[in-house]
């Protein structure tokens, strides 16, 4: 015979405040890039080839694979008779040139804000300037930007130490551009050092670090203030997601962790935690955030709130080949 219910009370869930950053997750460039792959599969059928990960999120990549996308590292892995999409991070000029030579159908999903940096670099080069690119070596966006110009036209500056050590080997005027997904604070420090050394160094006409990176970093600073733990949803190869973790720690979060999804949460992180902040990198889809919230709600009595923040209304057009 079962014992009376009052002798076996349900364990009470501990209370927990969960704050959601605004904005978080997908930006306009990521949304456009994913749509390009989806529309290409709809229009041309599977398979559609994609050079490199379309965006840096494993869940997005796996979903597109299931629809019929084939991800490759280089163009020579693609057949001539199937469409190929170039990732949101941009590609060196040699890549579309090779695709044209092979008479391939290619769709460029480069984020328009990355393309703006490419145009800016080309403008500086045409004006006879040596270009400094502030960014991270090996990142696809950096490879793409450096690949817009001849070898030696761009010098990569990764750190303040690089900025201090850089020594021009001629008297050409200098200019700088930046990767779009950098830490605002780190980049500002590098630029400050460069301008101390080279006072005539001009600023870009418009900030190179994109609006989405800026907005998410400002939001996570607000989130970190008063949060014992900040969880950033994003993949470890996502530059903007990794930067959000760094920014949260600097802004005062006791803990800040990067997780691809709820399965990566170590619930010991929550010991002694009263308030958790949640955000997501620009390539992380909202369903991952909602699944993380659901997993937390299974274990805690959650009070959920949205932080105030910048509302984003930016959209980018799809290539004409997919809309005509």
Strands (E), 172-300: 174-178, 229-233, 255-259, 275-280
- Inter-residue contact 282 to 216 (CB < 8 Å): yes
Task: Quote the CA–CA distance of 271 and 256 in Å, as a whole number.
Answer: 14
Question: Which three-class secondary structure state does DSSP give residue 186?
Answer: helix
Beta bridge partners of 233: 259, 280
DSSP letter for 151, please: T
Q: Beginning with the edge strand found earlier in the chain, give each strand of the sheet holding 174-178 in spatial order.
A: 154-157, 130-134, 174-178
DSSP label at residue 138:
T
Cα–Cα–Cα angle for 5, 297, 287, rounded to 5 degrees: 140
8 Å CB contact between 260 and 34: no
Q: Sheet harboring 84-86: ordered strands across? A: 69-72, 48-51, 84-86, 106-108
* Residue 122 annotated in active site: no
Residue 244 near residue 217 (C-beta atoms within 8 A): yes
Inter-residue contact 173 to 129 (CB < 8 Å): yes
CB atoms within 10 A of CB 34: 21
CA distance 285 to 287: 6
Query: What 8-state DSSP symbol labels residue 228?
Result: S
With beta carbons less than 8 A apart as the criterion, state whether 14 and 47 touch.
no
Q: Which residue has the tokens 């160094």?
A: 201
Catalytic residue among 120, 141, 161, 207: 141
Catalytic residues: 141
């Amino acid at each position: 015979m079962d014992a009376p219910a009052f002798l076996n009370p349900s364990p009470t869930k501990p209370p927990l405040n969960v704050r959601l950053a605004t904005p978080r997750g997908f930006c306009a460039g990521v949304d456009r890039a994913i749509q390009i792959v989806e529309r290409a599969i709809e229009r041309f059928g599977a398979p559609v080839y994609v050079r490199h990960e379309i965006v840096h999120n494993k869940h997005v990549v796996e979903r597109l694979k299931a629809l019929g996308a084939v991800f490759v590292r280089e163009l020579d892995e693609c057949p001539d008779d199937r469409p190929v999409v170039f990732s949101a991070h941009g590609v060196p000029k040699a890549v579309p040139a090779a695709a044209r030579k092979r008479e391939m159908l290619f769709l460029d999903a480069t984020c328009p804000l990355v393309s703006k940096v490419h145009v800016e670099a080309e403008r500086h080069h045409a004006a006879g300037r040596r270009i400094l690119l502030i960014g991270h070596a090996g990142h696809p966006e950096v490879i793409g930007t450096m690949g817009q110009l001849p070898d030696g036209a761009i010098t990569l500056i990764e750190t303040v130490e690089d900025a201090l050590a850089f020594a021009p080997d001629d008297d050409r005027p200098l200019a700088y551009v930046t990767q779009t997904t950098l830490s605002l604070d780190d980049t500002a420090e590098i630029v400050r050092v460069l301008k101390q050394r080279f006072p005539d160094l001009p600023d870009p006409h418009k900030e190179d670090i994109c609006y989405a990176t800026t907005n998410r970093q400002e939001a996570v600073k607000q989130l970190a203030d008063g949060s014992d733990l900040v969880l950033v949803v994003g993949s470890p190869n996502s530059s903007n997601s990794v930067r959000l973790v760094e920014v949260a720690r600097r802004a005062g979060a006791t803990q800040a962790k990067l997780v691809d999804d709820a399965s990566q949460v170590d619930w010991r992180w929550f010991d002694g935690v009263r308030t958790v902040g949640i955000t997501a990198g620009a390539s992380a889809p909202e369903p991952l955030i909602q699944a993380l919230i659901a997993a937390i709600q299974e274990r805690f009595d959650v009070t959920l709130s949205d932080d105030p923040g910048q509302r984003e209304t930016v959209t980018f057009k799809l290539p004409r080949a997919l809309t005509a």
